[in-house]
Structure 1
């Protein structure tokens, strides 16, 4: 059976101009023509077009497709393996771009109104751990405490954030030192660090009663991204997040019984 160029265009979802181009390139020359000179494609031509479109979808150039189809047994497998490798590389790059785009969206949701340079100057590598902001917004966004925290974060100046991060860094060093020295989570030292952390949240973001502090501490164990906002990954120790959680819960229990 024969098909006109218009029919093939409709079947294959390609333009008539593209079919003419494939003909000129020697990739797909119609088997026959009408007495008036119009192209007529056979079933075999349609099968060849399907192969061409398959390779085009994979990103092969017309020259590469021509080489493959000139000797498909010798060329197809090697070309497909190479294309598979390149596609995996492209997927990895695109996934990275998706992460960057998501990160940019997530950072905006923190409410921190700083320029990109100021963010880098103030937060350093901690900036890269702010992906937790999106899930936190979904989880806590309905609460007054979360809304207040976001509003206060948005109002902080660059110098405020410098002070916040300096306080956090000093506290973090003392936390790690206590953990490395095998302090017990229920010790006065560990609970004092827990109380200092709670006070830091209350002063800079939102009132943080002990029960709320415990819920925050639970997230540190359940979600590595949450703990990374407190202790950057390169400073973390195995067991440090559970240690901090236990200290916060012990501090809350002491507050409850007093």
Structure 2
């Protein structure tokens, strides 16, 4: 490496600006012997000749298309290297990455939609899957009420990955449980009994299709099911008085576990 006046070549900073690469990268390429400047100033600073800059330009081009530094070294050092073949292989890898990124982008779009809408089903699909009593505005209202909660986030995450067929399976599970509720009420199952407590546990398991439910949260839901006209109408449509009965069995099970239903909070 020669020592010349400063004006004989380009400094690291000038090359960095010209090629749009960092000074740190230029230093690294020098250290590993990939692109060493041919000259130095009397003070020991690197200077790049026109030939050096041309080599650097080729390195930058290959780096931008994702070729690794070791492979770049081979391409630049060996005139017998099948450059078109190497580039075709790189193109295939890029195409695979593009496909993965497109899938990731689609997944992100679904996640955003799920956080904003709750159900990634059309209004018609919602009614078909969840039943004629279902109101497609309910997810909108739930988003308004609970959109900033951790439970809504869990619900959205599950919703984003769920197909209509999977939602149908959820709906079938819920329907089976609600039939069991109605039958238990008809059979005179009393709040606090083992049969009623098993139904309360089953309710939490079923509800986990949306998000995990603590016993205190379950008590709060029981209150809402009885007090909210929409939910009360849904449960009372299965059996008259079922909304109030569901709350009673939930409250009784909570007491068994040391929870006062009158003071339970959403936690």
TM-score (norm 1): 0.50
Alpha-carbon separation, structure 2, partners of 1:157 and 1:250: 36
Deviation at 1:205, TM superposition (A): 1.6
Alpha-carbon separation, structure 2, partners of 1:140 and 1:108: 11
- SS across alignment from 1:175: helix
1:181 aligns with: 187
Alpha-carbon separation, structure 1, partners of 2:193 and 2:152: 30
CA RMSD of aligned residues (A): 2.6
1:122 aligns with: 129
The correspondence of residues 12-91 of structure 1 with structure 2, limited to 5 A, is none
Deviation at 1:117, TM superposition (A): 4.1
- Structure 1 pair 251–149 and aligned structure 2 pair: CA distance change class (3 A): same
Alpha-carbon separation, structure 1, partners of 2:238 and 2:258: 32
- The runs of 5 or more residues in structure 2 that have no matched partner are 1-113, 260-267
1:242 aligns with: 244
- SS across alignment from 1:127: coil
Alpha-carbon separation, structure 1, partners of 2:178 and 2:143: 24
Q: Whose radius of gyration is greater, 1 or 2? A: 2
Deviation at 1:121, TM superposition (A): 2.5
Q: Please say if 1:138 is aligned against 2:147.
A: no
Q: Is the Cα contact below 8 Å between 1:113 and 1:155 reproduced in 2?
A: no
- Structure 1 pair 116–195 and aligned structure 2 pair: CA distance change class (3 A): same
- Structure 1 pair 141–114 and aligned structure 2 pair: CA distance change class (3 A): closer
Q: Please say if 1:196 is aligned against 2:206.
A: no
Q: Please say if 1:252 is aligned against 2:254.
A: yes
Superimposed CA distance per residue, residues 228-252 of structure 1 (whole angstroms, 9 cap, x where no aligned partner): 56x3x53231x21111011112222
Q: Is the Cα contact below 8 Å between 1:112 and 1:156 reproduced in 2?
A: no
Bigger shift: 166-175 or 220-229? 220-229
Superimposed CA distance per residue, residues 179-199 of structure 1 (whole angstroms, 9 cap, x where no aligned partner): 112221211111211110111
Higher relative contact order (CA 8 A, sep 6+): 1
The correspondence for 1:215, drawn from 198, 220, 242, is: 220
Superimposed CA distance per residue, residues 125-183 of structure 1 (whole angstroms, 9 cap, x where no aligned partner): 1323x544444333323221122223322332111111111111111111001111222
TM-score (norm 2): 0.48
- Structure 1 pair 158–133 and aligned structure 2 pair: CA distance change class (3 A): closer
Query: Which is helix-richer, 1 or 2?
Result: 1
Q: Is the Cα contact below 8 Å between 2:119 and 2:139 reproduced in 1?
A: no
Q: Is the Cα contact below 8 Å between 2:192 and 2:252 reproduced in 1?
A: yes
- Structure 1 pair 138–121 and aligned structure 2 pair: CA distance change class (3 A): closer
Alpha-carbon separation, structure 1, partners of 2:232 and 2:115: 20
Q: Could you list the structure 1 runs, at least 4 aligned residues long, displaced by more than 4 angstroms after superposition.
A: 107-110
Alpha-carbon separation, structure 1, partners of 2:204 and 2:174: 11
Superimposed CA distance per residue, residues 193-234 of structure 1 (whole angstroms, 9 cap, x where no aligned partner): 1110111112x12111111111111101110213456x3x53
